[in-house]
């Protein structure tokens, strides 16, 4: 066996260096046999030899995490933290970069209505004195940072920094059907400079490729997933079109235009957009979205929702997003959301002014139509028509 050869070479090298006659020196293996310690030695040292003499890529994998489709509004999966594992449901959010879950330190009502991580119950938890504060488009949290083992699919991510919430004010997380958030954005937007989960996976050699891909199902159907380290072509048709990341923070790309029936209705001189699994709708500057709402005949009800006549869906046009010279049409069946007896617009006006200008958010309304690959190795996003 290879380990026996290594032990033999080790004994030989010791004899040569110290000029000791070979016949007078017992091998390490023989000494261990005589003392009845060989099996214990092998149990203890064989894993170390494997780690030393085989590259970490040998242990890399592709892991698929199933996501639950909650009313076509949110997609979340189950992870575990700690030893023994404590399970939590989390949004896999490409629009942020931190992992956090409710904790026993938290006094907000939202925490008591969700699963809470108890650091005292984990033998591998490591506390820190660092604090964490995150504000999302809706909702916010504050907490502290700690380290523990995080299991995502079949990947065991050790020594992962994550947030333990202490406050979750407002109603956003109070009514959320998930416990916490696992951010998949770039490290540059991570609060408190905490290393994101995917970066830690890659740094430890746990995934075979420096990318992950997402498929979101429609109409409440099962099958949604995020795949770490791989791409499954069975989830899309045609070929992937690659779009360069324009800024490494969010998964930000350049969009050429937004057109309806060949007429440019927004983003006439190109604009910036982020591909965000954590946003339910497709958001853009309020002026541009107002034009789209008017074009498709949406009007606000008393609750401020943009309502469209359900009978009009079959006659509504595709809205085409041109990205890197490739057209990505959204049919009315994609941008009109049915809730009970109402039909709602999947567009939302939101002014997000950045140093790069106004920003669009290609949320779940878009991603349901297009299988998406988030390629960190080449800083690009791959898009293909979802099956």
Biggest CA–CA distance in the chain, Å, is 95
Among the listed residues 93, 148, 256, 348, the single catalytic one is 93
220 occurs within a structural domain:
no
Active site residue 121: no
pLDDT at 69 over 70: yes
Q: Looking at residues 365-380, what average pLDDT do you find?
A: 98
Instruction: Identify whether residues 84 and 39 lie together within a single domain.
Output: no
Distance from C-alpha of 92 to C-alpha of 100, rounded to nearest angstrom: 11
319 occurs within a structural domain:
yes
Cα-to-chain-centroid distance, residue 333: 26
From 182, 215, 248, the end of a domain falls on: 215
In this structure, what CATH number is given to the domain that contains residue 159? 2.40.70.10
Dihedrals φ, ψ of 130, to 5°?
Answer: -80, 145
Instruction: Identify whether residues 305 and 173 lie together within a single domain.
Output: no
What b/e string do you get for 32-68 counting C-beta neighbours within 10 Å, with b at 16 or more? Answer: beeeeeeeebbeeeeeeeeeeeeeeeeebebbbbebb
Distance from C-alpha of 364 to C-alpha of 360, rounded to nearest angstrom: 13
Instruction: Identify whether residues 148 and 251 lie together within a single domain.
Output: no
Instruction: Identify whether residues 373 and 292 lie together within a single domain.
Output: yes
- Read off the pTM: 0.84
DSSP state string for 223-282: --EEEES---GGGBSS-PEEEE-SEETTEEEEE-EEEETTEEEE-TT-EEEEE-TT-SSE
pLDDT bin (cut points 50, 70, 90) of residue 320 is: very high
Instruction: Identify whether residues 14 and 70 lie together within a single domain.
Output: no
pLDDT at 72 over 80: yes
Residues near 237 by beta carbon (within 8 Å), at least 6 away in sequence = 384, 385, 387
Q: Looking at residues 311-320, what average pLDDT do you find?
A: 94
Query: For residue range 129-174, what is the model confidence (pLDDT) as tens digits?
Result: 999 999 998 899 999 999 999 999 999 999 999 999 999 999 999 9
Instruction: Identify whether residues 95 and 8 lie together within a single domain.
Output: no
16 occurs within a structural domain:
yes
Domain that holds residue 94: 63-215
Q: How high is the pLDDT of residue 274? A: 97
71 occurs within a structural domain:
yes
Q: Can you name the residues that pair with 30 across neighbouring β-strands?
A: none
Q: Can you name the residues that pair with 307 across neighbouring β-strands?
A: 299, 344
The total number of structural domains in the chain stands at: 3
Instruction: Identify whether residues 16 and 85 lie together within a single domain.
Output: no
From 30, 54, 78, the end of a domain falls on: 54
230 occurs within a structural domain:
no
Distance from C-alpha of 51 to C-alpha of 60, rounded to nearest angstrom: 12
Contact at 8 Å (CB) between 103 and 199?
no
Instruction: Identify whether residues 165 and 294 lie together within a single domain.
Output: no
Instruction: Identify whether residues 50 and 93 lie together within a single domain.
Output: no
Instruction: Identify whether residues 332 and 254 lie together within a single domain.
Output: yes
Distance from C-alpha of 347 to C-alpha of 337, rounded to nearest angstrom: 10
Q: How high is the pLDDT of residue 354? A: 74
Q: Looking at residues 171-193, what average pLDDT do you find?
A: 97
Residues near 254 by beta carbon (within 8 Å), at least 6 away in sequence = 243, 244, 246, 270, 271, 272, 273, 323, 324
226 occurs within a structural domain:
no
* Residue matched to tokens 């992870």: 79
Tell me how many degrees the CA angle 345-292-313 measures, rounded to the nearest 5.
Answer: 45
Tell me how many degrees the CA angle 379-385-387 measures, rounded to the nearest 5.
Answer: 125
Instruction: Identify whether residues 335 and 306 lie together within a single domain.
Output: yes
Q: How high is the pLDDT of residue 138? A: 87
- What's the mean pLDDT when you consider all of the chain? 88
Query: For residue range 253-304, what is the model confidence (pLDDT) as tens digits?
Result: 999 999 999 999 999 999 999 999 999 999 999 999 999 999 999 999 988 8
DSSP state string for 283-324: EE-HHHHHHHHHHHT-EE-TTS-EE--GGGGGGPPPEEEEET
357 occurs within a structural domain:
yes
Instruction: Identify whether residues 68 and 195 lie together within a single domain.
Output: yes
Active site residue 93: yes
Distance from C-alpha of 227 to C-alpha of 240, rounded to nearest angstrom: 16
Comparing 312 with 84, the larger pLDDT belongs to 84
222 occurs within a structural domain:
no
Contact at 8 Å (CB) between 65 and 152?
yes
Closest CA to 357 of 275, 281, 278, 254: 254
From 215, 246, 265, the end of a domain falls on: 215
Among the listed residues 72, 148, 276, 364, the single catalytic one is 276
**Among 17-21, 85-89, 297-301, 321-325, the least confident range:** 17-21
């Amino acid at each position: 066996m290879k380990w026996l050869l290594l032990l033999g070479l080790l004994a030989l090298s010791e004899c040569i260096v110290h000029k000791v006659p070979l016949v007078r020196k017992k091998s390490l293996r023989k000494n261990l046999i005589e003392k009845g310690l060989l099996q214990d030695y092998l149990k203890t040292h064989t894993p170390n030899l494997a780690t030393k003499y085989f590259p970490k890529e040998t242990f890399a994998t592709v892991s698929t995490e199933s996501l639950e489709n909650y009313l076509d509004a949110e997609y979340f999966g189950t992870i575990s933290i700690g030893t023994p594992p404590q399970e939590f449901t989390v949004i896999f959010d490409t629009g942020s970069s931190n992992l956090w879950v409710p904790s026993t330190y938290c006094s907000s009502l939202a925490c008591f209505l969700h699963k809470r991580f108890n650091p005292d119950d984990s033998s591998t938890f490591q506390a820190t004195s660092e604090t964490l504060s995150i504000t999302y488009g809706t909702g916010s949290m504050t907490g502290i940072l700690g380290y523990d083992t995080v299991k995502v699919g079949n990947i065991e991510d050790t020594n992962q920094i994550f947030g333990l919430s202490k406050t979750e004010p407002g109603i956003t997380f109070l009514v959320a059907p998930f416990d916490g958030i696992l951010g998949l954005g770039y490290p540059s937007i991570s609060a408190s400079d905490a290393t994101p989960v995917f970066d830690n996976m890659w740094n430890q050699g746990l995934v075979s490729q420096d990318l992950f891909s997402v498929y979101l199902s429609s109409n409440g159907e099962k099958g949604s997933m995020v795949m770490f380290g791989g791409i499954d072509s069975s989830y899309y048709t045609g070929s992937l079109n690659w779009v360069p990341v324009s800024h490494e923070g969010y998964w930000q790309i350049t969009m050429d235009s937004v057109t309806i029936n060949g007429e440019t209705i927004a983003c006439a001189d190109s604009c910036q957009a982020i591909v965000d699994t954590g946003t339910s709708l497709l958001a853009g500057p309020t002026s541009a979205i107002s034009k789209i709402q008017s074009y498709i005949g949406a009007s606000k009800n008393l609750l401020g929702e943009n309502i469209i006549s359900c009978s009009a869906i079959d006659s509504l046009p595709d809205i085409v997003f041109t990205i890197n010279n490739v057209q990505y049409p959204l049919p009315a069946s994609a941008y009109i959301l049915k809730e009970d007896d109402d039909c709602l617009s999947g567009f939302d006006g939101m002014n997000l002014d950045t140093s790069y200008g106004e920003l669009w958010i290609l949320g779940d309304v878009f991603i349901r139509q297009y299988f998406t690959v988030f390629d960190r190795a080449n800083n690009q996003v791959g898009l293909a028509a979802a099956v």
